[in-house]
């Protein structure tokens, strides 16, 4: 830093006055100038300050206490190891692995070859660990040294990405299997007709053609449901704008699903003047799927009740209740999975694709509603859909807080 000074204005002024006085007294001007220069120079030198020394910054040692404060509230599990012994674990890590992890050797805590190698070599890097907490968990462990003894260990959960990838793989495999079965039947009958057509009797040929038609219709239904599911999933974040009377829609869709053959089994109890904001085609599809399922899997001698009313939560409450065999409690959480069937043979025989309830779930989610499925073995199943009510003259609401889909919780 350079020299800084405060000018001595009083002293300089006195030197100048003296200089003028000397000239007035006829003193040699050169002597007067020399005296003034010497005087002022002395004043300037006297007021100058030596340059300041730069401040010395002493690095503060990293303490465990400061590290603990820094990482304690992080939502990511973070641990600090001292010579591979876990000295600090933040709240998230303790919740995940247990408080007993503090004081353990990191190699014992993780018990995985890749993690053991990472810690044993005392190097910076990462390792992937499977089944750290639960069987299918996948965690990435990142190690970064702070100094010769301390190292930070960060845990990153990659299970969700693996689950999504596995779900996509399962979906493709299931869809391929569902399409392959009817396609194999059609190809087999076509080959038989082509090679032995002249030797087949008319009744046999007609039987083959009916089977081919049934399998083709099954493929058509499956592809239609796949397209519907894809379309609903693509639009699930867009709330529809149309406001309409739900009673009219439910009655129309329920009668369409029953058809003339099963119409006598329908028991409709629909409250009028319940308006909702939604997509009419999707809600019709939802009602058709629910009523068709109830008629298929309910007892043939009993009716299917369809009720529409205002629920205790001031939402439109649609109930579809059958009196069939019922569903086991352990199967309820899986009913809305794609291609899930409680009885695969019976479902395929009745023309089911295994996608009906998956489509219903996504339609309900798109309309910010709630879906509940309750069932008791030997007594039947009730499916309840709750949708927000909209006043007939209300303007469309672009966003409504999303509600979660729950199964078997509310009645």
Q: Which residues does the annotation mark as catalytic?
A: 177
Coil, helix or strand at residue 376? strand
- How far is 114 from 69, CA to CA, in rounded Å? 30
Interhelix angle 29-47/9-24, rounded to 10 degrees, is 170
Coil, helix or strand at residue 389? strand
- How far is 78 from 74, CA to CA, in rounded Å? 8
In sequence order, what are the beta bridge partners of 309?
A: 317
Work out the angle at residue 110's Cα, subtended by the Cα atoms of residues 109 and 116, and round it to the nearest 5 degrees: 110
- How far is 109 from 241, CA to CA, in rounded Å? 54
Please state whether 306 falls in left (phi above 0), alpha (psi between -120 and 50) or beta.
Answer: beta
For the residues of 225-261, what is the DSSP string, one character each? HHHHHHHHHHTTTS----EEEHHHHHHHHHHHHHHHH
- How far is 76 from 54, CA to CA, in rounded Å? 41
- How far is 374 from 46, CA to CA, in rounded Å? 97
Q: How far is CA 15 from CA 26, 39, 208, in A?
A: 17, 6, 129
In sequence order, what are the beta bridge partners of 383?
A: 320, 373
For the stretch 298-308, what's the b/e string if a residue is b when 16 or more beta carbons lie within 10 angstroms of its beta carbon?
A: beeeebbbbbb
Is-contact 340 354, C-beta < 8 A? Answer: yes
């Amino acid at each position: 830093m350079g020299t800084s000074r405060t000018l001595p204005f009083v002293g300089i002024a006195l030197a100048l006055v003296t200089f003028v006085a000397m000239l007035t007294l006829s003193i040699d001007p050169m002597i007067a100038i020399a005296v003034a220069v010497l005087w002022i120079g002395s004043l300037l030198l006297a007021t100058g300050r030596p340059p300041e020394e730069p401040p010395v910054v002493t690095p503060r040692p990293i303490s465990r206490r400061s590290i603990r404060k820094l990482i304690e509230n992080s939502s990511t599990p973070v641990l600090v190891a001292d010579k591979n012994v876990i000295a600090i674990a933040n709240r998230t890590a303790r919740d995940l692995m247990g408080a007993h992890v503090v004081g353990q050797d990191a190699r014992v805590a993780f018990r995985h070859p890749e993690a053991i190698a990472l810690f044993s070599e005392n190097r910076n890097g990462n390792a992937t660990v499977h089944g750290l907490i639960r069987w299918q968990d996948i965690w990435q462990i990142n190690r970064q040294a702070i100094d010769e003894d301390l190292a930070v260990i960060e845990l990153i959960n990659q299970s969700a990405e693996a689950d999504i990838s596995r779900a996509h793989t399962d979906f493709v495999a299931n869809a391929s299997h569902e399409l392959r079965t009817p396609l194999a039947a059609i190809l087999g009958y076509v080959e038989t007709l082509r090679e032995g057509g002249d030797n087949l009797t008319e009744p046999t040929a007609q039987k083959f053609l009916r089977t081919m038609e049934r399998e083709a219709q099954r493929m058509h239904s499956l592809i239609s449901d796949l397209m519907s599911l894809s379309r609903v999933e693509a639009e699930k974040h867009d709330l529809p704008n149309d406001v309409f009377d739900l009673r009219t829609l439910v009655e129309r869709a329920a009668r369409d699903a029953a058809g003339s053959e099963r119409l006598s089994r329908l028991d409709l109890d629909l409250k009028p003047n319940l308006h909702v904001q939604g997509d009419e085609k999707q809600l019709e599809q939802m009602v058709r799927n629910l009523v068709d399922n109830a008629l298929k899997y309910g007892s043939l001698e009993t009716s299917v009740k369809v009720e529409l009313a205002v629920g205790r939560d001031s939402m439109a409450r649609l109930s579809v209740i059958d009196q069939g065999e019922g569903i086991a409690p352990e199967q309820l959480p899986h009913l809305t999975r794609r291609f899930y069937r409680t009885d695969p043979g019976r479902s395929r025989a009745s023309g089911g694709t295994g996608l009906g309830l998956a489509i219903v779930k996504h339609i309900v989610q798109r309309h910010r509603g709630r879906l509940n499925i309750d069932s008791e073995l030997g007594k039947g199943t009730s499916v309840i859909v709750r949708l927000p009510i909209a006043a007939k003259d209300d303007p469309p609401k672009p966003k409504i807080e999303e509600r979660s889909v729950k199964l078997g919780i509310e009645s």
